[in-house]
Amino acid sequence: MRNFLKGKRLHFIGVGGISMSALARIARHLGAIVTGSDKDGSEAFVSLENEGYEVYLGSDVSFPQKADLVVYTAAIKESDPERVAAGNKAVTRAAFLADICEGFQKTVAVSGTHGKTTVSAMLSCVAAADGMRFSAHVGGVVRNFQNNTFLSGDDLFVTEACEYKDSFLTLSPDVAIVLNVEWDHSDYFESVESLYASFSRFCSRVKPGGAVILGEGVSSHIDVCSNDHIRIYRYGEDFCFEAKEEGGFVLLVKNEPPRFFTTPAKGRHNLYNAAIAAFASLLLGAREDSVRMGLAAFLGVKRRYEYMGRTLGGAAVVHDYAHHPSEIEAVMKVAREGKGRLIVVFEPHTFSRTQALFSDFARVLSKADVLVMLPTYSAREVPAEGVDAKTLFCSVNAPERYFFSTYDGAKRLLDKIALSQDTVLILGAGSVEKLAERFC
């Protein structure tokens, strides 16, 4: 591995983010002296603290001033005191990730509106089962590793490739995966056409001799031409999968015999994720038995259909990161397998997303038997940038609806109304996990 970090001082602004915490771990693994700051004490922040990293809440300009390199997330404003203090030593998270990728023999970058974390985690589990010398940068805590990173070698690097603010355009992977493309991040992409254009540019950045894997329904939107230097594999033409009623799925690859795989992950969307992971793993040279073993042993990712406990009335409580209408709909289908009512607790994520996808949110959430709505998790925004949770709440036609401004109020209601055969689904990408954890 090209070790350009050994002995260097690195400071991460926003180190409590799931991607930033992973990069901080990778940097220390490569010999850097790592410090970091954040405004909130997230679970990822606390994990770093417990592992002995020098991290703190708030701002302290002395740390970026002493650092050789300062890494910041897209959410950090130009006026941030630490970013100002860093001066020309500051680089974006995306640029730093691109530099990390260049230290590996081969990089596979997983992109798409949904499923990036799950597929990256599945690929990592297969690589581990195959004995590959690989490292991984995952946007969630993989239960098999109890971490969002895995560091065992430099032959292969598995990473997520996020489209927000075109950050994935810094990467030049050997294998690019596009799982799906739906309009999201409306605070950056003005239209779905601009989103398609960015994904097309991402695919065009694949290194000569590399490959592009286009998922279900993607080919008609992504403009990428096959040539002598890049191989393109399209879902529905070169490969697909068939779900089996008894469980598992059959991977069908053009001109190859069918292969049967299983995974504990629930729902058609996760069978699709597993099929993409299986196809990509085989393309990367993994043995078929290793693919079978890795997918069968996959324990899931924290905050992805995660069982949290029960209400006082005995209802199962499940938490999921879903914050886009398509993700919510997929998770609700899985939860509908229960016998009782489906009680959905939703914390909208950003005002702009709520406004851009308003009708889809209202349609999907109306399918709940009981809806409990919480205030919008604003993230980087202010209310003027879109529609708030109360406006969305008034447009949902669920048979029974409640709005609470606090997690405490929602917790008391759920303990009162959610009974033994009901399923409580707590959804959102913000801090709503704190509510879910109260049922542990």
Q: What is the pLDDT of residues 197-223, one digit of tens each?
A: 999 999 999 999 999 999 999 988 888
Q: What local confidence, expressed as pLDDT, does residue 192 receive?
A: 87
Which pair of tokens denotes residue 276?
């993409």
Q: Mean pLDDT over residues 55-72, rounded?
A: 96
Confidence of residue 313 (pLDDT cuts 50, 70, 90): very high
- Do the beta carbons of residue 167 and residue 92 sit within 8 Å? yes
Per-residue model confidence (pLDDT) at position 306: 93
Q: Could you give the maximum distance between any two Cα atoms of the chain, in Å? A: 63
Query: Is pLDDT of 124 > 80?
Result: yes
Fold for 306-437, please state it: Protein-Tyrosine Phosphatase; Chain A (3.90.190)
pLDDT computed for residue 226 by the predictor: 58
Give the pLDDT mean for 75-100: 93
Cβ 350 vs Cβ 378: under 8 Å: yes
Rounded to an integer, the average pLDDT of 231-242 is 95
* Amino acid 187: pLDDT: 76
Q: What's the pLDDT tens digit per position in 260-281?
A: 999 999 899 999 999 999 999 9
Sequence ranges of the domains in the chain: 9-93, 102-296, 306-437
The pLDDT of residue 228 is 62
Q: Which two tokens stand for residue 153?
A: 């070698």
Lowest-confidence segment of 222-231, 363-372, 397-406 by average pLDDT: 222-231
Q: What superfamily would CATH give domain 9-93? A: NAD(P)-binding Rossmann-like Domain (3.40.50.720)
Stretch 119-124: mean pLDDT, rounded? 97
Structure-token pair, residue 44: 């990822």
Euclidean distance between CA atoms 93 and 76, whole angstroms: 10
Q: Is the pLDDT of residue 225 over 70?
A: no
Choice among 50-64, 225-239, 274-288, 347-361 with the minimum mean pLDDT:
225-239
Distance, CA of 140 to CA of 47 (rounded, Å): 13
Would you place residue 149 in the very low, low, confident or very high pLDDT band (cuts 50, 70, 90)? very high
pLDDT at position 75:
81
Residue 20: per-residue pLDDT: 95
Percentage above 70 pLDDT, the chain: 98
Angle at the Cα of 415 (from 410 to 418), degrees rounded to 5? Answer: 100
45 close to 16: Cβ distance less than 8 angstroms = yes
Q: Helix 18-29 crosses helix 43-50 at what angle (to 10 degrees)?
A: 20
**Residue 152's Cα: distance from chain center in Å?**
22
Q: What is the pLDDT of residue 164?
A: 84
Q: For the whole model, what pTM was predicted?
A: 0.89
Q: Name the amino acid, one letter, at 328.
A: I
- Provide mean pLDDT across the span 124-134: 96
Cα 101-104-106 angle, rounded to 5 deg: 90
CATH superfamily of the domain spanning 102-296? Mur-like, catalytic domain (3.40.1190.10)
pLDDT at 354 (0 to 100): 94
pLDDT score, position 440: 85
Residue ranges of alpha helices (H) inside 2-113 are 18-29, 43-50, 62-66, 81-86, 93-101
Distance CA 304, CA 16 (A): 19
Looking at residue 357, the DSSP 8-state letter turns out to be T
Nearest-angstrom CA–CA distance, 139 and 259: 29
| pLDDT confidence bin for 188, thresholds 50/70/90 | confident
More confident residue, 432 or 246: 432
For residue 247, pLDDT over 90 is answered with no
Question: What pLDDT score was predicted for residue 170?
Answer: 94
